[in-house]
Amino acid sequence: MAEKKQKVIPDEYIPEVASRVVTIEGSDYLVENDAMYTFYERSMGEFSPFFLAIRDEKKILGCKCTKCGIVRVPPMLTHCPDCDFAPTQPVEVGQVGRMNTTPPITYFATSLFLHIAPYGRGRVILEGADTAMSVNLYTTTGILVPGLIKKGTEVKVIFKGERVGEITDIFCVPTSELTPDQITKKGLEESELNWATPKEPVFPKASEEDIAIYKQSLKEMQALAAEMSKSKRARKAIEGWKRDIAVKTKAGEFAMCINDGDFSIEERRLGSPDFVMACEDPKTLLDGLSYKGAITDSVIMKKLWISKNMEFNTIFKLDRLARFLAREKKEAAKQ
């Protein structure tokens, strides 16, 4: 089995030794880059058979109480807490199951998971089990959207090709996206699935009206961008952040540039953008920047396409930019 050759803490997460001074009401405060870290050589103890069975045999193990017969997956534990600690025995369970409840979908993740958002995590009760196991949930059709996987949805355990003996060696997809053979096959691997490849959308030819809407929307977005760059609060939303984004719409392409507090929108093509956004109607983006609906939601609802999922983080910053400007305007209007 191949082993992952990567650092326990990837280099990109580690800041340099540095400090800065923050001045508040004339007083200086020292702020230092720092970390609190501990390394482990951690034993999986009584869970070792469970993780080894996933890694080496593509099997899911549970434990069965010798007294009440309840089957717990994951195998919690060697003795049953409901039967005055009667011993349990390992049992293999099925690789198809049903969702215990509708799973949440995380769009704004912790710093360790920002690059895989959006993702679903839910609990599946596998055939032969009585308790639910947490799993990551994916769809082979693109971004996981609310409503696709619900309570009772039948899902199948999929094994990754390279397994290291962790719970992330497996995940689930709805069986409705699989063939009958795939559903019955034990140890089905990720590479055997038919994953949809994200493709940049192709828009129909723009009409005169579309061009007029595009020009007007662009003008309004440029005005908003100028306001955002001047707003102390809005600038905070994109502090320390740099991105050049190519935005493609039905009637034209423009550049959206974020540069450590500065935000600009210009009608030009970028040679090498950090990523591409594509939306048929530029008003989708205009509404987002005007705080009339979140840009995040436009991505989720497939009105706006982004070329890199990990740039969800930039989308969040754009939503925050819109909210901070709207809030500043609201407060100014009250005064």
Partner 1 sequence: MAKKVGIVGAAVTPFKGRWYEKTYYELAQMATREAVKDAAISIKDVDAAFYSIYNDIFERTCIPEHPLHGIIGMQHKPGIRISCGGATGAYTISAAHAYLAGERFKIVLVLGVEKATDCFDFLSMSATPEVIKAIAWSGDSFFEQKLGWSASDSYAEVVLGYMDEHPGDLKPEVTAQISSQLSKQARTNPYAQRQFDQVTPEEVMNSRYIVYPFKELEICVYSEGAAALILAEEETAKAMAKNSGKPIVWITGLGEANEHSFAGKNQKDMSRIMSGHLASHRAYDMAGIEDPVKAIQVVELHDAFVHELEITLAEFGLVPLGRADSLIEEGIMLPGGRLLVSPSGGLIYCGHAVGASNIMSAWSARKELIERNLRTAMVHGTGSTVAQYMACQILEHE
Q: Hey, which residues between 270 and 289 contact partner 1 (CB under 8 A)?
A: none
Contacts of 7 (CB under 8 A, 6+ apart): none
Nearest of 48, 79, 50 to residue 62 by alpha carbon: 50
Q: Which of 187, 179, 172, 178 is nearest to 100 (CA)?
A: 172
The nearest distance, CB 121 to partner 1, in angstroms, is 5
CB of 202 to partner 1, least distance (A): 27
- Is residue 311 near partner 1 by the rule CB under 8 A? no
- In the range 119-158, which residues lie near partner 1 by CB under 8 A? 119, 121-123, 125, 129-136, 146, 150-151
Q: Which of 49, 52, 58, 76 binds partner 1 (CB under 8 A)?
A: 76
Stretch that binds partner 1, among 162-170, 214-222, 223-231, 277-285 (CB under 8 A): 162-170
Smallest gap from Cβ 105 to partner 1, in A, equals 4
- We find the least distance from the C-beta atom of residue 298 to partner 1, in angstroms, to be 10
Cβ density class 51-73: b for 16+ within 10 Å, e for less: bebbbeebbbbbbbbeeeebbbb
Sign of CA dihedral 41, 47, 50, 52: positive
Residue 335 touches partner 1, criterion: CB under 8 A: no
Q: Which of residues 28-57 bind partner 1 (CB under 8 A)?
A: 29, 31, 33-34, 36, 44, 47
Tokens matching residue 165: 């003996």
Phi, psi of 231 (to 5 degrees): -80, 125
**Is 66 an interacting residue with respect to partner 1 (CB under 8 A)?**
no
By CB under 8 A, residue 85 contacts partner 1? no
Question: What DSSP character marks residue 48?
Answer: H
Residue 174 found at the interface with partner 1 (CB under 8 A): no
Binding of residue 97 to partner 1 (CB under 8 A): no
Could you tell me which stretch among 166-174, 208-216, 245-253, 274-282 binds partner 1 (CB under 8 A)?
166-174
Strands (E), 151-203: 154-159, 170-174
Binding residue for partner 1, selected from 53, 108, 187, 192, defined by CB under 8 A? 108
316 forms part of the interface with partner 1 (CB under 8 A): yes
Site string for partner 1, 237-266 (x = CB under 8 A): --xxx-------------------------
Q: Does 114 bind partner 1 (CB under 8 A)?
A: yes
Site for partner 1 in 206-235 (CB under 8 A): none
Is residue 51 within 8 Å of 44, Cβ to Cβ? yes
Contact between 243 and 314 (Cβ < 8 Å): yes
> Is residue 102 a contact residue for partner 1 (CB under 8 A)?
yes
Q: Is there binding between residue 112 and partner 1 (CB under 8 A)?
A: yes
Q: Decide: is 72 part of the binding site for partner 1 (CB under 8 A).
A: yes
Question: Token pair of 41, please?
Answer: 């050589």
Q: Collapsing DSSP states into helix, strand and coil, what is residue 326?
A: helix
Sheet holding 262-266, edge to edge: 262-266, 252-259, 242-249, 275-278, 305-306
